[in-house]
Amino acid sequence: MDDDHNKPAFLDGNEASIEPDQDIEPAFRRLTPDEITNLRREAAEAGAWMRAELALRKKGGAS
């Protein structure tokens, strides 16, 4: 019995390969300290806005 039809697609032998000598840029970069500070500030502001918005909606108000 041939079990090849039971193999997952990622094991079918058609995998893409990356050669070690290829230059590949990372998909991400580290944030600078200023970017981290700004991101934290923006997240805190967004959280405060959301809490205020939820409180308003619980009271029956709409924005």
Is position 1 within any domain? no
On whether residue 59 sits in a domain, the answer given is yes
Q: Considering the domain boundaries, does residue 54 fall inside one? A: yes
Residue 5 in domain: no
Distance CA 40, CA 32 (A): 12
The answer to whether residue 10 sits within a structural domain is: no
Say how far apart CA 54 and CA 52 lie, in whole Å.
Answer: 5
Is there a domain that residue 12 lies in? no
pLDDT in tens, 13-32: 665 665 666 677 778 899 99
Structural domains of the chain, count: 1
Question: pLDDT of 34-62, one tens digit each?
Answer: 999 999 999 999 999 999 999 999 998 76
Residue 63 falls within a domain, yes or no?
A: yes
- The boundaries of the domain holding residue 55 are 30-63
Residue 35 backbone dihedrals phi, psi, to 5 degrees = -65, -40
Kind plus residue range of the DSSP H or E element containing 41: helix 33-58
Identify whether 39 is part of a domain: yes
